[in-house]
Amino acid sequence: MSESISGLMELKELYQEIILDHGKNPRNKGKCEGFTNDAKAHNTLCGDKVHIYLKLNKDKKIEDLSFEGEGCAISLASASILTETVKGKDLSFITRVSDDFINMIKNKKKITINSLTPDQMTTITSLSGVQEFPMRVKCATMAWHTLMSAIEKK
């Protein structure tokens, strides 16, 4: 096996570990206190459900957010990774990172936002393998679309 291929295998394994970890131990699960916005969605293809709660402050920052959900490991991991990535961030960051994430999954684009830490970058890129499975695209993107509808709600 050439070095580059074994490096790729290691990366795949790392990505898989991240997804399994978030799927089994989702971060920010439940209903956060004093939420100002929320939205929910249901993926009928797979049976996944997600409900996002967030607390926007007057500086348009997400002070707190959480989710309730059930479904496949991809959908739970994606929602968990989402909450970890956008908590404490402002809306311009959130819009950019969501666009990047959805573009990565749907259009196989690279993440372009440059304000992520290397760890955050690895974590959100861990879901990039879903590109190869059109049936699972919705599992991975649902929470991110739901976050944007929650933000847009008055």
Q: How many CB atoms lie within 10 A of CB 131?
A: 16
Q: Is 75 in the site for Zn ion (CB under 5 A)?
A: yes
Q: Write down the least CB distance from residue 114 to Zn ion, Å.
A: 30
Q: Write down the least CB distance from residue 71 to Zn ion, Å.
A: 5
**Helix 118-125 and helix 3-24: axis angle, to 10°?**
90
Q: Kindly write out the interface string for residues 41-70 of this chain, putting x where it contacts Zn ion by CB under 5 A and - elsewhere.
A: -----x-x----------------------
Is residue 16 helix, strand or coil?
helix
The DSSP string of 47-106 is TEEEEEEEEE-TTSBEEEEEEEEES-HHHHHHHHHHHHHHTT-BHHHHHHHHHHHHHHHH
Q: Kindly write out the interface string for residues 87-116 of this chain, putting x where it contacts Zn ion by CB under 5 A and - elsewhere.
A: ------------------------------
Q: Is 37 in the site for Zn ion (CB under 5 A)?
A: no
Nearer to Zn ion among residue 41 and residue 86 (C-beta): 41
